């Protein structure tokens, strides 16, 4: 059984099926009416979901999405209820990180019952330059990525302003290493390549092989450089997919959308994947990717629905879930795939 969690603007879709696109899938909507921003879960605790909202903080389900409870982050450092990012550590599913607006990071070691503020982020020298254009008075933690080889290493994407990382669980922070992007949207690691980081950002794409201390920017063939979601092939760290557009408006606004998916293999140029079964181009917002960890298998969601590939992008098949017509006007916020 496969479970796919789709965080939309106003609801969470809990989709369950046999893992095949052509199989029977059931879809249940939860948290309707909330302004969702992110969702996280871990295969080692498959019934526990954590969902961040913009207007009402953090929610947790401990029963596979049947019920949700609101979690309190009791900290003087919490300045708003806007939870913009959340991740569960692959080393221990009880360890959860959340990022907020303005940019703060909190960690729980007990599955969300209690929280600790990881101090020092807002005191970094570049913090005065961070800003989010739609709300230029503020900024937020858009992405959190735990290193699969070291539970104390955390990579952070600030939208907009910096790539930041900590090697020691938040005791110290590094910011803006050479070659890193500024407008970070999503980050990824690979369990078979220690030190590898992938970054999809509004100012382009980047990769690191030393845990984020230095970066390179392979963009040959990448004609649309406002990058949103990135995922490597679980079976090959040198194959990567990225969703992108020419800018924020064509990425996120359905009425003006024009987005694409690109694939890169080894050190070759990017290849645009058109007419492969996954809608792209005019009217399609940027895709969000997720994987169960099976080689070649990736799930993607955009405003046209949920899709899956088993050959890392050569062909995509729509997954038959409930997808009301009104969802074509939305830009999906998050995606999780649990085997």
The pLDDT tens digits for 168-182 are 999 999 999 999 999
pLDDT class of 134 with cuts at 50, 70, 90: confident
When mean pLDDT is compared across 20-24, 87-91, 243-247, 304-308, the lowest value belongs to 20-24
pLDDT class of 78 with cuts at 50, 70, 90: confident
What is the value of pTM for the model shown? Answer: 0.95
Percentage of residues of the chain with pLDDT beyond 70: 99
Q: Quick check: 74 pLDDT over 90?
A: no
CB neighbourhood size of 311 (10 A)? 13
| CA proximity to 224, closest of 247, 241, 206, 240 | 247
Counting beta carbons within 10 angstroms of the beta carbon of residue 282, is it exposed (0 to 12), middle (13 to 18) or buried (19 or more)? exposed
The pLDDT tens digits for 271-299 are 999 999 999 999 999 999 999 999 999 99
**Which sequence spans correspond to the domains of the chain?**
80-326
How large is the average pLDDT for residues 110-137?
Answer: 92
Domain 80-326 adopts which CATH fold?
Answer: Methylamine Dehydrogenase; Chain H (2.130.10)
DSSP state, 142? E
The pLDDT tens digits for 14-51 are 999 986 766 789 999 999 999 999 999 999 999 999 99
Query: Do 182 and 160 meet the contact criterion of CB atoms below 8 Å apart?
Result: yes
CB neighbourhood size of 206 (10 A)? 24
């Amino acid at each position: 059984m496969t479970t796919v969690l789709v965080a939309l603007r106003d609801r969470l879709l809990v989709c369950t099926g046999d893992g095949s696109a052509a199989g029977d899938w059931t879809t249940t909507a939860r948290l309707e009416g909330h302004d969702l921003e992110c969702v996280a879960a871990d295969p080692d605790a498959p019934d526990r979901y954590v969902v961040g909202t913009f207007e009402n903080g953090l929610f947790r389900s401990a029963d596979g999405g049947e019920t949700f409870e609101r979690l309190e982050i009791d900290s003087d450092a919490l300045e708003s209820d806007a939870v913009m990012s959340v991740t569960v550590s692959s080393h221990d599913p009880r360890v959860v990180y959340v990022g907020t607006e303005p940019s703060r990071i909190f960690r729980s070691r007990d599955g969300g019952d209690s929280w600790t503020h990881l101090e020092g982020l807002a005191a970094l020298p570049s913090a005065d330059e961070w800003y989010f254009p739609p709300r230029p008075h503020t900024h937020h933690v858009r992405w959190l990525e735990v290193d699969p080889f070291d539970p104390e290493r955390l990579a952070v994407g600030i939208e907009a302003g910096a790539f930041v990382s900590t090697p020691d669980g938040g005791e110290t922070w590094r910011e803006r290493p050479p070659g890193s992007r500024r407008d970070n949207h999503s980050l990824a690691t690979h369990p078979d390549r220690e030190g590898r980081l992938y970054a999809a950002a509004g100012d382009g794409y980047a990769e690191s092989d030393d845990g984020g201390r230095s970066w390179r920017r392979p963009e040959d063939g990448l004609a649309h450089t406002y990058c949103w979601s990135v995922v490597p092939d679980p079976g090959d760290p040198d194959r990567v997919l990225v969703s992108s557009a020419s800018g924020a408006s064509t990425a996120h606004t359905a009425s003006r959308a024009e987005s694409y998916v690109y694939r890169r293999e080894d050190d070759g140029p990017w290849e645009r994947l058109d007419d492969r079964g996954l809608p792209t181009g005019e009217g399609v917002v940027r895709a969000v990717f997720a994987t169960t960890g099976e080689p070649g298998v990736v799930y993607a969601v955009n405003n046209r629905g949920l899709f899956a590939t088993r050959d890392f992008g050569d062909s995509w098949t729509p997954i038959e879930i409930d997808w009301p017509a009104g969802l074509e006007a939305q830009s999906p916020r998050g995606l999780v795939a649990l085997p």
